[in-house]
Chain A
Amino acid sequence: MFIFVVSFLMYLLLVWSGGGIPLIEILIALGVASVVTVAFRTWNRERAVRSGRLDPKRVVDFLHYLFGPFAVGLAKANIDVAKRVITGEIRPGIVKINPGLRTDIARTLLADSITLTPGTLTVDVDDDGTFFIHWIYVEDEDPSEEQLYGSFGDWARRLAE
Chain B
Amino acid sequence: MFIFVAIFVLIGLAFNLLGAISLYRFPDVYTRLHGATKCTTFGTLFSMFAVVAYALGRLVMTGEARFGVLIIHSAIAAFVLLVTNATGAHALARAAHRSGLMPARAVVDRLEEFDEVRAKREGAQV
Contacts and interface: CB of A to CB of B under 8 A. Distances in A.
B31 A92 contact: yes
A112 B86 contact: yes
B42 A74 contact: yes
B94 to A, nearest CB: 5
A81 B30 contact: no
A48 B94 CA distance: 24
B109 A93 contact: yes
B38 A123 contact: no
B30 A141 contact: no
DSSP majority for the A interface?
mixed
A18 B114 contact: no
A116 B82 contact: yes
B76 A13 contact: yes
Nearest to A79: B42
18 contacts: A16-B69, A18-B65, A19-B65, A78-B39, A81-B22, A85-B18, A85-B35, A88-B25, A90-B27, A93-B107, A94-B106, A96-B111, A112-B82, A112-B90, A115-B90, A116-B37, A124-B93, A134-B34
6 residue pairs, one from A and one from B, having the closest CB atoms: A18-B66, A18-B65, A93-B108, A96-B110, A115-B86, A112-B86
